[in-house]
Structure 1
Amino acid sequence: MTRIVVLRPEPGNADTCAKLRGLGLEPLAMPVFTVVPVAWTPPDLGGFDAVLLTSANAIRHGALPDTLKTLPVIAVGDATAAAARRAGFSVAVTGTSNVDAAIDAARASGFDRLFHPAGRDRRPTGPGVVVCTVYASEALGIGDSVLPRHEELLVLIHSPRAARAFGEHVAQAGVDRSRVTIAAISRTAADAAGSGWAAVVVAETPTDDALVTIAAKRAIDPDARRGDKRVMSDHVPIERPRARGPRLGVIIIVIGLAFIAGSVAMGYALKTMPWFGQRTGLTAAGSTTATAASGNPDFTPAQPLNANGEQPRVDTAMLATREATLAGQLTALEARTAAVSSDAMAAGGQATRAEGLMVAFAARRAIDRGVGLGYIEEQLRLRFGRAQPRATAAVIQAAHQPVTIEDLRQGLDTIAPQITSTNGTTNDSWLQTVRREFSNLIVLREESMASPMPADRLARARRLLEAGQVEAARAEVERLPGATQASNWMDAARRYIVARKALDILENTALMGQAGQPQPSPIVVTTPVLPPVATSTQTEAPVAVPAP
């Protein structure tokens, strides 16, 4: 049995434990820090555009004055934004990942001068942000008798400092790291925990709910603990066992016997019950009279008589008015039927468009995460195979060989020494090499131009990768002196770009309503999409992108 340990300080520790108990799990609360207020003096708020909040602890323990509520709040995430609203602040911008992203979003909205009430242990925030310490996290320590020694542990870590404290305690207490799985809120927190653990899982988003999801999945899914990369939402068809019942032959015999018994009872009733025979005779006589009357071409049915015994006069004008009224009502009904049919067709088109968008979005999510498409692959062929065969084939091919931003980043870090150096990449003589090195000592360029130095190009490529601009990052790597050593990385980046362009095409097709309904026979697209990669005559570097 896996024991879940929560290291988050209070009151967040209690919130996380409550979420886990709501899922039927029993966590072990073990806060390694306690948050205490720090005395501070508010600065002049006239020189600031907004307040930057990176933790709800600043609101709970920072003793923020009411004068700060006159400034809008830049929150690092949804939880901090919710705490700020409950305290009476007005939230203008809410970040989606970390403090750097929140600051960039604030500056994009026109908030350049930020006041940051923060904790004592924090990361640098860059220029334009005035930081003031309003609270501190004091270490509590972990008792040796509290942490289980002989159980498999899943430890939820919410900060790099908590990760370092837990790693130090495990080293001092002699706990077997092979029994401990780390679930970290970010890559930075996971790196701070060190190595040697049974497994390290990083949350997809830096939120407490993402960590709770990881804990719930590993508690109820044994394959997740063994490293199975299947998505829990993947469709797994289950064949329902056939229900046992009476045999078909017995049922047919019972029905036949019932029919024979009913026929015998009917014949007996016709012979023995006089009232039944009379009604049957009357009915037969009436049917014969009606048949004879309808067969006579000269037969004219008599008109009904009025109260005086006379035939009423037929008012032709009234009949014409009624006929006109009925014709108008019939026309109105036909128009309403046509309108309903038109609305139904429009609703069907909108439903088809929404279904196509859902399939395209699901495919993009799976490829971004580097997992297989599963049953989504068949849906892509059925809905987009006829309208966009090449884009559909490109997406399916990319899912078979997935490339993620993290793969490209790790691959670029691996080949960085080879592609920034010119050793062994040119056939110049030693004199030309010396001249080139001396020419790089002093470089004159315009201030608006980017630096052409290899180290600067590599740094730009890394920043572009972090921003998701793979095509621009590939262009920077292509201009490096050792670009010939990065052919595998360039091919992986090209496959990433082709896959995303194909996904854009499928989404646009769904938006324009060109995605069709699933057909009975799937369309298998075999047209190659990716052009062949030219092989280099020079020695290639090792594969930079790890295999999925």
Structure 2
Amino acid sequence: MTSPHAVVVVRPEPGNARTAAALRTLGLDVRQVPLFAVTPVDWSVPDPAGFDGLLLTSANAVRHGGTGLDALKRLPVVAVGAATAAAAIDAGFAVAVTGSGDARDAVSEARDRGFARLLHLAGRDRAPTGDGIEALTVYASDDVPIDATVAQSFADAVVLLHSERAAIRLKAMLDTAGIDRSGIEIAAISAAVAEAAGTGWATVSIAPQPSDPALVALAAARANIRAIDHPVRGGDKHAMSDYVPTDRPRARGPKMGVIIALTALAFIAGLALMAYAARKLPWFGATASTTAGAPVAGQKAGASNSGYIPSQPLGPDGQPQAAAPVDTAVLATREATLAGQLTALEARTAAITTDAAAAGAQATRAEGLLVAFAVRRALDRGVGLGYLEEQLRLRFGQAQPRATMLLIQAARQPVTLEDLRQGLDAIAPDITSSTSENWLDTIQHQIDSLIVLRKAGTPSPMPADRLARARRLLGAGQVEAARAEVARLPGAAQAGNWIDAARRYVVARQALDLIENTALIGQAGQPQPAPVVMPTPQTATETDTAPDPSGI
């Protein structure tokens, strides 16, 4: 059986060792009995584009996630608590939300901040977290066999519970071993864990914050209280009630009249001696004046008080009274309480720091979006970037170097929709007929076009119809489709410059889309391990570089 103030830690490693070390620094008898062992599980990385963020309810997901976590580091993290958030930050993730309760509270706060689709990196045994969350198993907590002799160590102790599963396992194990739970105190990390532990315990206490430091402080306080109360159970109730006052009779001293007479005679004698010294000794006046104005040379300031020793308080009989005994148990309880308050302050400081980091990340994201929108507006108007060119390099040069280069080149030779419409109108007569045909080929082409057979619902292949479709597509902003229609016209060889201008327009807009997506997911200004390479659109047909009447 454990000592009356023993504490049992049942969480898996490596957290078990950290919690036990924190308890031992408070002078407690700690037993380490892990009920579970955490092991990694093979998993496949999903497409990060299908999620708004990652939900982490345990630091084990980061410790045992493996190399697959690198592909998900672009997603912001919703952490259930400060400890999980700290583990995610150490692993290279950006934490956007840090909860202060359980997983449901963290998910609710994430919903308020706009996270609709979350990927939950969880253990194999987990509780449901709600709709819109896809759970993915990356680790497993397997039961560790506990024999009956080890189970006996839980009797008359304080047990720390960090999870609902640990509470259920502990209750079942003690019931199987036939151990009475009425002498065991439970220190739970949250209300959900306390509810899972059930009833029948000596006490069930809940930590003020869902963190390991707060739970350690709570367990230390409960263990010290048990240590104070334990001797009373044994029947020794006289430790604080054996004081018997001892009032000794005061000794009879000399009469008051004699004391007054002697004091008066001494005072008169002193005055007489002072008058004699002032008259007969010439140096008396100088010495007196010197001491009255300043301290004598060589005398240290405050020397008159250097030997002062405060007297001890006197008792009722006038004798020095002994100092009251120090209650070490009360001091330990106060120390544990102060440690818990300090831990709570540290947790709040960590939460504030995490929120500040998240706010900084959101500000960086907003600035990146503003730069991307300003570049799009400049390209649509056909003007140069100016100071935006340097901002584009600073914020997106490392994350998307190819897209940044393409946008800078496109801004130096801008192409707008209006330029493309005017150019198409200018080359329309030349591209609807082929200049390489002789008069016989032209007559044959006209005869062939009198009757055209095509399936119902398919677009007309006539040059005039293709040109009309190209104009409508340009009006709708579908430049790539319009370019394909122009490339199929008989005189497409005469539209080489226009097709090239349309291609540059399409490439610039694709680069803009990539830059805006990078800003949206918060990667602006951050170097990426493998920047996304935007493929260059291929032309529908091979074209010549013949002069284009549009001048584009």
Whether TM exceeds 0.5 here: the answer is no
Normalising by the residue count of structure 2, what TM-score does the alignment of the two structures yield? 0.43
**Larger relative contact order (C-alpha < 8 A, sep ≥ 6)?**
2
Larger Rg: 2
